[in-house]
Amino acid sequence: MKRIAAFVAAMFLLTAGTWAQDGKGIYNKYSDHEEVSAVYISSSMFKLIGKIPDMELGEGSSMDLGSIIKNLNSMYLLDCEDADLTKEIKADVDKFIKKYDFEMLMEIKDKGEVVRIYTTGNEKTVTQFIMTASEYDGFTFICLDGTMSRADLEKAIAKATQNME
């Protein structure tokens, strides 16, 4: 009986460790901590948002994000400024990124702050988009799950950066 109980406990621990290595798992693990600000958006909300007209970017320019937004399944956001908890969250996010072989698209380093953007998918489709931001003892994690057209995402990014010039 003790062997069975030990086996079940070991399996639970292994499963819990694996479960915590995806966006939803990381969100569920940390979202109830008092030191963490958390936001979850469901696919139903994204479908509703996808019906909103083009987004104005200023100077008479607009961008249609509907084709990207309506295909999202979920968004998970965590923001923490507790140094010890930040280390834990970062470690779980790093394991998640390595496990699913995310590609780093961009890294920005400025005065102690580091922002990184990662995606996973194929040449036509992005299935997950992650952005992390680290600053001293703070950390922000944003994970978008869904099926986004890489071409639509590239158009949106190009349009947004064009308007920044």
Query: Average pLDDT per run of 10 along the chain, which is 165 residues long?
Result: 34 36 90 97 84 57 68 94 95 95 91 92 92 92 92 75 56
* pLDDT on residue 6: 32
Q: Is residue 5 part of a domain?
A: no
Q: Is residue 17 part of a domain?
A: no
Q: Is residue 138 part of a domain?
A: yes
Eight-class DSSP state of 123: S
* pLDDT on residue 82: 95
* pLDDT on residue 22: 85
Q: Is residue 12 part of a domain?
A: no
Q: Is residue 130 part of a domain?
A: yes
Q: Is residue 6 part of a domain?
A: no
With a CB cutoff of 8 Å and minimum separation 6, the contacts of 116 are 104, 106, 107, 108, 131, 132, 133
Query: How far apart are alpha carbons 69 and 147 in whole angstroms?
Result: 10
Spatial CA neighbour of 33 closest among 94, 71, 85, 83: 85
* pLDDT on residue 56: 53
Q: Is residue 98 part of a domain?
A: yes
Query: How far apart are alpha carbons 57 and 61 in whole angstroms?
Result: 5
Domain range for 94: 22-162
Angstrom CA distances, 141 to 32, 41, 48, stand at: 15, 14, 24
* pLDDT on residue 12: 36
**Structural domains counted in the chain:** 1
Q: Is residue 94 part of a domain?
A: yes
